[in-house]
C-alpha cells in the first residue's frame, strides 16, 4: 500500500517538481513506516509517479508568487515561467507525460535539493554492502552497534536537523551556510581544533536566531538542485570505551602513580598506571587509556594492605569479550611482570560504577603508617598522649609542594585516631586513621605553619616524616573477587 494519501498529493507534486527525492518527500509528508524507504530509488520514483497521475484535466500547484489563474496541464507542456523557475539550474523541469501524469525529466539523475543525494545513492544496497565490508575488515569485536551519520552542516539550512554516521561532504553547496555568518556573527567563532567555523552546532544556533523573513531573503526556498551528490569522506569504525577496575598495591618508593613530567621532561621511566595499562592495551587492542584512582600517593609512598581502588578507561578497544578466567590470567600476567606493583580484584565495570570510587576520595577514611623523626630526644611517655586524641580537626592551607597545581585554599580535615610505637630517642612510628584528602606529610612537619595543629606543634618539637605507607583505603569498591 502506497504510504501517501490524497491530502499529500499537492505537497508531493510540488516537492517532486522542485527537485526533491522520493525519500525526502516521504519524510516531509510524515511517513514513518520503514517499508517504503527500503525500496530502491527507481522503485520509489516509479511508485510516486503512479500516485501523482490524475484523471482530471486540471491540476492546481502551490508555487512561489503563484499566477492568478489555474495552471492547466496543457500550459505545463510549454513551460510556464512560474513552474520552470522552480528548478533554478534548469534541470528537472516539470513536464507532462502522455498519460497525463507529471514528473521530472531525468529525475533519476537529478540530485535531491534537500538531502543532496544522501537518501538517493547512499541508501541503495551497493553502498550498504560497502559499509558492511568496511566493518568486517576493521577487526572489531562487538555484540551490538550504533550507526551514526555525519552530514555536511549546510543540510541544516536546507531542512530541519536530521541525524542518524559515515562522514559526508558536499563541496558544491558548502557556501550555503555563509550568509548566516553575516546575520549572526556571534555564532561563528574560530576554535583551535576546528577547521571551519561552520560547524553543525554553530549553524543550528544561527538558524534558531535568524528571523524567518531574513532567512527567506538570503536563501532560496525551495533550495536549488545541486549537480553532484554528496561525497563520502570516510567510513570509520570505532568502539565505545570499556572500563577495567581493580585495586593495586605499590611496593616501590621510586614510582609515581602517573607519568612524572616536570617542565616537559620525564623524570622516571614508568608509573603505576603504565605498568597496569600496558598489558590491558595489548589484550584489549585499544588505542589509548585513561587512568584514575581513589586518591593518589606520592612517588615515595607505598600502598599496602588491600590496595587502592583504580579504574582504567580503554579507548576504542577492538576486543571486548573476556571470560572471568581470561581476566584472572591477565591479572596474573600483570603481577608477574613487575615487583613494583600488584593488582587484585581485576574486573570489567561500567562507566557509571566508577562513580562509587570517586565518592571515596572525600567521604571515606584512609589509614597510614609513618616513620617520624624529631629533633629533640624523646621518651615513650612523650608520645603516649597522641593515642588519646580523637577526631582532631586541623586546618590545612594548600601545601607548598602542590601549590603549582592546586588552588590556594584552607581545607578542614579530621584526624580520627592515632597510635604510636616508640623506636628510639629520635624516631617513632605513627599510625593514623584520617579523613580522605588529608595531607599526612604536612600534618607531621607543619609545612611552615600552613597546617595547624601538627605533630610538631602538639609535641613542641621539630618533626619530619621519613617514610609513609598507605595501609588501607576504606572504599568498598570494586567488589572483592574470590581468588
- Supply the DSSP symbol for 97: -
Cβ–Cβ under 8 Å, residues 106 and 92 = yes
Closest CA to 454 of 366, 406, 407, 389: 389
- Asked if the peptide bond before residue 453 counts as cis, ω within 30 degrees of 0, the response is yes
Cβ–Cβ under 8 Å, residues 151 and 169 = no
Q: At 103, which helix (H) or strand (E)? A: strand 102-104
| 402 Cβ contact partners less than 8 Å away, ≥ 6 residues apart | none
User: Is 345 part of the annotated catalytic residue set?
Assistant: no
Q: At 180, which helix (H) or strand (E)? A: helix 178-183
Can you tell me the distance from the alpha carbon of 325 to that of 47, in angstroms, rounded to the nearest whole number?
Answer: 57
Can you tell me the distance from the alpha carbon of 161 to that of 144, in angstroms, rounded to the nearest whole number?
Answer: 26
Rg (CA), the chain: 35
Q: At 209, which helix (H) or strand (E)? A: helix 200-209
Per-residue pLDDT, 124: 87
Per-residue pLDDT, 64: 38
Q: What pTM was estimated for this model as a whole?
A: 0.62
Q: For residue 292, what are the β-bridge partners?
A: 311
| 82 Cβ contact partners less than 8 Å away, ≥ 6 residues apart | 63, 64, 65, 66, 67, 71
Per-residue pLDDT, 97: 33
Closest CA to 294 of 315, 322, 272: 272
Per-residue pLDDT, 238: 82
| Per-residue CA distances from 203 to 116, 151, 173, 208, 222 (Å) | 17, 12, 14, 9, 19
- Supply the DSSP symbol for 404: T
Of the listed 84, 298, 382, 464, which one is catalytic?
298
Can you tell me the distance from the alpha carbon of 442 to that of 454, in angstroms, rounded to the nearest whole number?
Answer: 8
Closest CA to 329 of 317, 312, 346: 346
Can you tell me the distance from the alpha carbon of 332 to that of 344, in angstroms, rounded to the nearest whole number?
Answer: 9
Cβ–Cβ under 8 Å, residues 354 and 292 = yes
The Cα diameter of the chain in Å comes to 116
Q: For residue 464, what are the β-bridge partners?
A: 373
Q: For residue 231, what are the β-bridge partners?
A: 169
Burial of 91 (0-12, 13-18, 19+ CB in 10 A): middle
Per-residue confidence in pLDDT tens, the chain, 483 aa: 788 888 889 889 989 988 899 999 998 888 888 888 889 988 999 989 999 885 343 343 333 343 333 333 333 333 333 333 333 333 333 333 333 333 333 344 589 988 888 898 888 888 889 889 988 998 888 776 768 777 777 776 565 433 335 788 888 888 888 899 888 888 888 877 677 888 888 888 898 888 888 888 888 888 888 888 888 888 888 888 899 999 999 999 999 999 988 888 888 889 999 999 999 999 999 999 999 999 899 999 999 999 999 999 999 898 988 999 999 999 999 999 999 999 999 999 988 888 888 775 667 889 999 999 999 999 999 999 999 999 999 999 999 999 988 899 999 999 999 999 999 999 999 999 999 889 999 999 999 999 999 999 999 999 999 999 999 998 889 999 986
Per-residue pLDDT, 32: 83
Per-residue pLDDT, 85: 37
Can you tell me the distance from the alpha carbon of 462 to that of 235, in angstroms, rounded to the nearest whole number?
Answer: 66
| Per-residue CA distances from 233 to 163, 167, 230, 252, 433 (Å) | 17, 5, 9, 49, 58
Cβ–Cβ under 8 Å, residues 333 and 342 = no
Per-residue pLDDT, 5: 87
Amino acid at each position: 500500500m502506497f504510504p501517501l494519501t490524497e491530502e499529500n498529493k499537492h505537497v508531493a507534486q510540488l516537492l517532486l517538481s522542485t527537485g526533491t527525492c522520493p525519500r525526502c518527500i516521504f519524510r516531509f509528508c510524515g511517513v514513518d513506516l520503514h517499508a517504503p524507504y527500503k525500496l530502491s530509488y527507481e522503485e520509489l520514483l516509479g511508485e510516486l509517479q503512479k500516485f501523482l497521475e490524475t484523471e482530471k484535466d486540471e491540476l492546481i500547484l502551490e508555487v512561489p508568487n503563484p499566477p492568478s489563474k489555474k495552471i492547466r496541464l496543457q500550459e505545463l507542456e510549454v513551460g510556464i515561467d512560474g513552474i520552470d523557475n522552480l528548478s533554478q539550474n534548469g534541470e528537472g523541469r516539470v513536464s507532462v507525460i502522455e498519460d497525463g501524469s507529471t514528473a521530472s525529466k531525468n529525475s533519476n539523475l537529478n540530485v535531491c535539493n534537500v538531502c543532496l543525494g544522501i537518501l538517493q545513492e547512499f541508501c541503495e544496497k551497493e553502498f550498504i554492502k560497502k559499509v558492511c565490508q568496511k566493518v568486517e575488515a576493521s577487526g572489531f569485536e562487538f555484540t551490538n552497534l550504533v550507526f551514526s551519520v555525519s552530514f555536511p552542516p549546510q543540510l541544516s539550512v536546507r531542512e530541519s536537523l536530521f541525524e542518524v554516521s559515515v562522514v559526508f561532504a558536499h563541496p558544491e553547496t558548502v557556501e550555503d551556510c555563509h550568509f548566516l555568518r553575516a546575520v549572526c556573527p556571534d555564532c561563528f567563532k574560530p576554535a583551535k581544533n576546528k577547521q571551519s567555523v561552520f560547524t553543525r552546532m554553530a549553524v543550528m544556533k544561527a538558524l534558531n536566531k535568524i528571523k524567518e523573513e531574513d532567512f527567506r531573503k538570503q536563501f532560496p526556498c525551495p533550495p536549488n538542485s545541486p549537480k553532484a551528490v554528496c561525497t563520502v569522506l570516510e567510513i570509520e569504525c570505532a568502539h565505545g570505551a570499556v572500563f577495567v577496575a581493580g585495586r593495586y598495591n605499590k611496593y616501590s618508593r621510586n614510582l609515581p602513580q602517573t607519568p612524572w613530567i616536570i617542565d616537559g621532561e620525564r623524570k622516571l621511566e614508568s608509573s603505576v598506571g603504565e605498568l597496569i595499562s600496558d598489558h590491558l592495551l595489548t589484550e584489549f587492542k585499544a588505542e589509548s587509556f585513561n587512568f584514575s584512582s581513589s586518591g593518589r600517593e606520592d612517588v615515595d609512598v607505598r600502598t599496602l594492605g588491600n590496595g587502592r581502588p583504580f579504574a582504567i578507561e580503554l579507548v576504542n578497544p577492538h576486543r571486548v569479550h573476556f571470560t572471568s578466567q581470561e581476566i584472572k590470567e591477565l591479572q596474573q600476567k600483570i603481577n608477574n611482570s613487575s615487583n613494583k606493583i600488584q593488582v587484585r580484584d581485576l574486573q570489567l565495570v561500567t562507566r557509571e560504577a566508577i562513580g562509587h570510587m570517586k565518592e571515596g576520595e572525600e567521604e571515606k577514611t584512609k589509614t597510614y603508617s609513618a616513620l617520624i623523626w624529631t629533633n629533640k630526644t624523646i621518651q615513650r611517655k612523650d608520645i603516649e598522649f597522641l593515642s588519646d586524641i580523637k577526631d582532631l580537626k586541623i586546618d590545612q592551607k594548600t601545601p607548598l609542594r602542590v601549590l603549582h597545581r592546586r588552588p590556594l585554599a584552607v581545607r578542614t580535615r579530621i584526624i580520627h585516631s592515632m597510635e604510636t610505637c616508640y623506636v628510639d630517642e629520635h624516631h617513632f612510628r605513627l599510625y593514623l586513621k584520617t579523613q580522605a584528602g588529608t595531607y599526612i606529610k604536612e600534618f607531621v612537619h607543619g609545612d611552615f605553619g600552613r597546617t595547624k595543629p601538627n605533630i610538631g606543634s602538639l609535641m613542641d618539637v621539630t618533626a619530619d616524616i621519613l617514610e609513609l605507607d598507605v595501609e588501607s583505603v576504606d572504599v568498598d569498591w570494586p567488589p572483592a573477587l574470590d581468588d
